[in-house]
Structure 1
Amino acid sequence: MSTPSQQAPIKFAYWVPNVSGGLVVSNIEQRTSWDFEYNKKLAQIAEKAGFDYALSQIRFTAGYGAEYQHESVSFSHALLAATEKLNVIAAILPGPWDPAVVAKQIATIDHLTGGGRIAVNIVSGWFKGEFVAIGQPWLEHDERYRRSQEFIEALKGIWSRDDFSYHGDFYRFHNYSLKPKPLKQPEVFQGGSSRAARDMAAKVSDWYFTNGNTVEGIKAQIDDIRAKAAANNHSVKIGVNAFVIARDTEEEARAVLAEIIAKANPEAVNAFGDAAKQAGKSSPEGEGNWAKSTFEDLVQYNDGFKTNLIGTPQQIAERIVALKAVGVDLVLSGFLHFQEEVAYFGEKVLPLVRELEAGKVALAA
């Protein structure tokens, strides 16, 4: 395995809070807003701080503290228009969206924003109640991922070929030519922890997002995905979710975590947990996202506390480099107070990561 200094610099993304309630299901005070002006300023702060990507969220219905939700594609376009270098990943949910519509939307945004900064995250779906509410059929677990794989294959085909034909179980195209195509083919992200999710990533996706986990747990997933991808003559990059609590002292950071959990909304957390675990356990092997998450894990939607980026800037930087050493290419970050904490991360944590990558400072014993 290559050492961190031999790999490309690890990349950083943040969750776009285009959904109300922040990134924790807690009644703790959060100086984070879902409105556009807040998010516009946040994107500019993140770009200046050295973040590479922003990931918008897709939700259609209220629940678990998310009473309001801005639509992901149009919101992503607006963030791109407000920045110069930041890449923005628009979350897409197969079912409500058709690949032909998405291909055309994203191609147009790519032209309007100069090319190369719009990407998509294909979300296979975990919340049955949301599908029911908007009149969409709810597929079985592995069928949702099979549909997503076809969705990605269709997107990539439309973006790269003229007279594109495709005959799948979910999507069909007959000599379709999209004009204009994107200036640069957009990157395709996906998430999931189940066998079906990992197999899909190993075949068609450019990036794979996994829920937060220990370094050992993440390494096992990465080794599995990369071995399968190699067998498919495919390569995939890895992003891991993490809720970051960076403070001047470890005691301060741990106190914030304790307060988040102490002020968790039990009704909302348990309701989210019931729906999320149903989705995770419904995978044939019972190992999907959230299948084994505890109450504390579920206070942060994507097991972000498990990644343990909680402590001083030095502690967090060292843990990020440890993630990189097992094959992580990107850290997808959530924060309590986004604007202030993204700026702090860029000032205090990211420079230490770069120094550690370059071997300019040694890891603590």
Structure 2
Amino acid sequence: MSTEKIADEIKFAYWVPNVSGGLVTSTIEQRTSWDYEYNKKLAQTAENNGFEYALSQVRYEASYGAEFQHESTSFSLALLLATERLKVIAAVHPGLWQPAVLAKLGATADHLSNGRFAVNVVSGWFKDEFTHLGEPWLEHDERYRRSAEFLQVLRKIWTEDDVDFRGDFYRIHDFTLKPKPLNTPERPNPELFQGGNSSAARVNGGRYADWYFSNGKDFDGVTEQLDDLRTHAREAKRETKFGLNGFIIARDTEKEARDTLREIIEKANKPAVEGFKGAVQQAGNSTGDKKGMWADSSFEDLVQYNDGFRTQLIGTPEQVAQRIVAYRQLGVDLILGGFLHFQEEIEYFGANVLPLVRELEAQQEPVLEPARA
């Protein structure tokens, strides 16, 4: 199997605002909240407006405009219990979790939610979050080697009995998890996401994950990553789906959308953005090929801290829908959307953008899998 054709329709996820400060580091008004009641209503709104996934963020202490943060796995479970169809992805850091403990939590969450819990493996971005907790901070490629083992251990524990795993970072001896996740045709084992942009992230995504999550990218950036991801997936005789981050500014007119972007950047919290830039760009620049996350991000890109502006989902509903379908034709399987005013804009997206996406998809020629020699 390969990743040329995963699904006929692109899927949609949204960033859960379980971290204060919104998704842009700017003093512009952001009608959002990190509290549970707001997020409970938002999750219900999202699943009723065409969103299939939500991603809970992970931060452990105040940093770069985010003063407060709820823990991702517990918050994800709360949202799962408040919804009926939405799949919620909890971001986690290897190095701060033992994979067998997370596997146990994941199996329980899977049963409580009827198979809707998922995990996004974040290989590490803020050094201080590790050192302040007394944990070692590994160099970039070592963090991804650890993530590779983490992904393998999770899958083995969820699918096998009497698990033995002897790696450089994790050792599991004759361990059997009961109950395992539901693992039915309708609700397979919890999906595993690998976040990142680097060559190491692409290897992990292709070999071990169900999904690969990319920071915001233009068409060329997506194509370059997909080529690598497909190669690694083919070599491992498996398939990996591709998720792309994008900050969505859909407005009735293009001028209104562009003016909103301009105001976000003009009102950027410059010390916070510069601090974030200094903290994260060492990760991408520490890789041998300089392909890591944020390696080439500008100040303006980092006002949305996962490069969401670079995907350019900005304009009228028609313009945003056309660009989403163009990404789908390249091979993108999911758009992870961020918003300025979450509740109103997710409703606007569901009413005005998503129907156009489905209409445009229906008009497209099928993306066929190429013949193999």
- Shorter chain as normaliser: what TM range? over 0.9
Structure 2 contact 25–65 (Cα < 8 Å) conserved: yes
Structure 1 stretches (4+) deviating beyond 3 angstroms?
4-7
2:184 maps to 1:180: no
2:201 maps to 1:197: yes
Partner of 1:273: 277
Deviation (angstroms), 1:285:
1.5
Structure 1 contact 99–154 (Cα < 8 Å) conserved: yes
Q: 1:110-129 to 2 correspondence within 5 Å?
A: 110-114=110-114, 116-129=115-128
- Cα distance in 2 for partners of 1:253, 1:157 equals 46
2:153 maps to 1:154: yes
Deviation (angstroms), 1:228:
2.0
- Cα distance in 2 for partners of 1:208, 1:6 equals 13
2:42 maps to 1:42: yes
Q: 1:323-342 to 2 correspondence within 5 Å?
A: 323-342=327-346
Relative to structure 1, the CA distance from residue 166 to residue 351 in structure 2 (aligned partners, 3 Å threshold; closer, same or farther) is same
Q: 1:113-262 to 2 correspondence within 5 Å?
A: 113-114=113-114, 116-184=115-183, 185-262=189-266
Structure 1 contact 120–188 (Cα < 8 Å) conserved: yes
- Cα distance in 2 for partners of 1:224, 1:95 equals 26
Structure 1 contact 215–323 (Cα < 8 Å) conserved: yes
Report Cα offsets for 1:32-75 as digits up to 9, x if no partner: 10000000000000000010100001100111111001000110
Structure 2 contact 6–333 (Cα < 8 Å) conserved: no
Relative to structure 1, the CA distance from residue 150 to residue 6 in structure 2 (aligned partners, 3 Å threshold; closer, same or farther) is closer
Deviation (angstroms), 1:6:
9.9
Deviation (angstroms), 1:113:
1.7
Aligned length: 357
Relative to structure 1, the CA distance from residue 119 to residue 67 in structure 2 (aligned partners, 3 Å threshold; closer, same or farther) is same
Structure 2 contact 213–245 (Cα < 8 Å) conserved: yes
Deviation (angstroms), 1:241:
0.4
Report Cα offsets for 1:97-120 as digits up to 9, x if no partner: 100110000101111122x21000
Relative to structure 1, the CA distance from residue 254 to residue 136 in structure 2 (aligned partners, 3 Å threshold; closer, same or farther) is same
Deviation (angstroms), 1:7:
4.6
Deviation (angstroms), 1:214:
0.8
Partner of 1:356: 360
- Structure 1 stretches lacking a partner, 5+ long: 361-365
2:322 maps to 1:318: yes
TM-score by length of structure 1 reads 0.96
- Structure 2 stretches lacking a partner, 5+ long: 184-188, 365-373
- Cα distance in 1 for partners of 2:215, 2:358 equals 24
2:307 maps to 1:303: yes
Root-mean-square deviation over aligned CA pairs: 1.4
Letter paired with 2:97: W
Deviation (angstroms), 1:219:
1.0
Deviation (angstroms), 1:170:
0.5
Alignment identity in percent? 63
Partner of 1:263: 267
TM-score by length of structure 2 reads 0.94
